[in-house]
Amino acid sequence: MPFVKQVERVQRFVELLHEWYVLHRRELPWRDLWDLKESDRAYRVWISETMLQQTQVSRVIGSYKKFIQQFPAVGDLAKATNSEILIAWRGMGYNSRALRLRDGAREIVQRVTLRRAQGDNAAVMVSSTNHDTLFPHTIEDLIAIPGIGAYTAGAIRTFAFDLPTPAMDVNIRRILHRVFVGPENVDGTWSANDATLTKLLETIIGAWIAAGHRGSDLYSALMDYGSMVQTKNHPKWAICVLTEKGIMKATPKNWKPPVRGASKERLKKEPGRTVGTTYIPNRIFRGRIVEVLRDHPDGLNFEEIGKWISPDHREELYEWLDQLIKKLIQDGMVMEKKKKYFLAE
């Protein structure tokens, strides 16, 4: 491959990625919300980004639509009980995300209410009919909200406020690394750290906007390309325009698939136990407990829960199961009444 200067590589990358995106972009319900009020956009982006954490887009679409229908504004979410949230979150996994969303909504409502009480006439009370929540704009204020981390804060600024902000997720990291650094290591690690890639992303954002493109479209394009072309385990080299035009440093010749079994070894570092021949982390069992209690509003006793979540339930596992349930009670997901367990109110 001929030598390409970094500035030229960035320029060609922006041109080719935008051309590809125009033809192949995905239509998703949380994109292109520019006809909504700013705070409504921020709320919906926040919900979608939280749902998309470790969950496939295809699974999120239906859940997102139902969730927004049930909780159309941050004020509606703030008023939800634990059980309402957990039931609405069915099928998404990582149930603590749902409770953090609700807690974050309450924090936003409290901040607006406080500003109102202090005489800030611009601060408007939050309700389902008045959605202007004065959603925080700065990275610092956004990450101070429960459930919002650095990447989600950057996504909210980019997709809701049209303030393109460098933020690194797995798809973005993978594409930038393969194009500008080279293939990832066979164990799934990266030669370049996120600080280096973030500086590169800042340069790309500048070139993208200078070319007259909307900043949020860059992130959408990177995510779509990472999901549809430059996937983690099976890159589609034959249809990769970046490979065809010779600007990608990773190639079919120097890229190797991750070592089989490496992810399983990382999984075994999580607390859990083996059922049959399969190692299952405790977080999966906790998710099963929440799932079965969604379907049993009248509650289940200790033995019933054990039989529902594990085919090898037996007396030697009582202490293990007790610790799982105690953790869920501590996290506000489960409660106990008269020796039966229910979703927390």
Residues designated as active site: 49
Q: Which helix (H) or strand (E) holds 341?
A: strand 340-343
Instruction: Please tell me the number of Cα atoms within 13 Å of 106 on its side-chain side.
Output: 11
Lookup: tokens for 90: 């069915």
Q: Which helix (H) or strand (E) holds 335?
A: strand 334-337
Q: Residue type for 69, please?
A: Q
Q: Using the 8-state DSSP alphabet, how is residue 261 labeled? A: T
How would you label 174-209 residue by residue, b for 16+ Cβ within 10 Å and e otherwise? bbbbbbbbbbbeeeeebebeeeebbebbeebbebbe
Instruction: Supply φ then ψ for residue 302, to 5 degrees.
Output: -60, -50
Please state, in angstroms and rounded to a whole number, the distance separating the CA atoms of residues 19 and 221. 10
Please state, in angstroms and rounded to a whole number, the distance separating the CA atoms of residues 307 and 315. 11
User: Beta strand pairing status for 334-337 and 340-343?
Assistant: antiparallel
Q: SS3 letters for 18-47?
A: HHHHHHHCCCCCCCCCCCCCHHHHHHHHHH
Lookup: tokens for 129: 């009919």
The answer to whether the Cα torsion of 70, 74, 75, 78 is positive or negative is positive
